Amino acid sequence: MIFAPSPRLIDVSLAQEIAQAVYTASSVPTVNSNDVASLAHPSIAAGSAAPEYFNAWSQHLSDIQKRLGRPLLAGVFQNQPLEHILEVARQVPLDMVQLHGNESVEMAQLIPVPVIKVFHVDDTFDLDDESDLLKTFNHSVILLDTKVAGASQQGGRGVSFDWTIARRLSDMGVPFLMAGGLTPDNVSEAVEVGRPWGVDVSSGTETNKVKDPSKIRAFVRGAK
């Protein structure tokens, strides 16, 4: 659910309606809405390397999703005040927060639910220079998305990046999400090349800026 400036921006009341619909359709409808925040974090030893840390989180989140019997509800924010993020997360409530701007990775420590942190990729992107990306005990999930030059708001632009960059992260044994220009037509190749833990899509499953059920189904088939 998008809470950052975007044509897809929704308010809290609509987000609550969406959340309620997800709870109603859940295979475990009796679980309360603050499940993820109340569940313990995965057991990770201090000083763990990035592969161990992020793999523990990916497994933990998969286990939570199975336990709840429903999708996890994530809210997307971009360069917005921490107080606003915390309030929206509490009101909906959200299971996860996605920071899609230039927020510091340390900001994740102040958010009581798991945090997906974006890292924008362009032609100058070098994993060796991205020390924040692999910092442990901050964000729980890494998201790679395309950096669009000159855009005041990143994300949802339908522009791809070089998937071999993502593959390098996968070869390091680090799970991550991948976004940027993914569509039903290219997601299978993107997954084969980049080998992400998961994918993130927005404009690629829309027709005339509206979510298209047939494209969503085709995208899911391709991603699997």
**Residue 154: per-residue pLDDT:** 44
As a whole number of angstroms, the distance between CA 214 and CA 163 comes to 25
Q: How does pLDDT run across 53-111, given as a tens digit for each residue? A: 999 999 999 998 888 889 999 999 999 999 999 999 999 999 999 999 999 999 999 99
As a whole number of angstroms, the distance between CA 218 and CA 38 comes to 35
Regions of the chain short of the pLDDT cut 50: 33, 150-152, 154-155
**Residue 3: per-residue pLDDT:** 97
Q: Which is it for the CA torsion 13, 112, 141, 39, positive or negative?
A: negative
**Residue 6: per-residue pLDDT:** 87
**Residue 149: per-residue pLDDT:** 56
**Residue 143: per-residue pLDDT:** 97
3-state SS, one letter per residue, for the chain: CECCCCCCECCHHHHHHHHHHHHHHCCCCCCCCCHHHHCCCCCCCCCCCHHHHHHHHHHHHHHHHHHHCCCCCEEEECCCCHHHHHHHHHHCCCCEEEECCCCCHHHHHHCCCCEEEEEEECCCCCHHHCCCCCCCCCCCEEEEEECCCCCCCCCCCCCCCCHHHHHHHHHCCCCCEECCCCCCCCHHHHHHHHCCCEECCCHHHEECCEECHHHHHHHHHHHC
**Residue 34: per-residue pLDDT:** 54
**Residue 28: per-residue pLDDT:** 67
Contact predicate 175/197, CB 8 Å: yes
**Residue 195: per-residue pLDDT:** 97
- Token digits for 115? 């945090």
Q: Give the mean pLDDT of the chain.
A: 89
**Residue 92: per-residue pLDDT:** 96
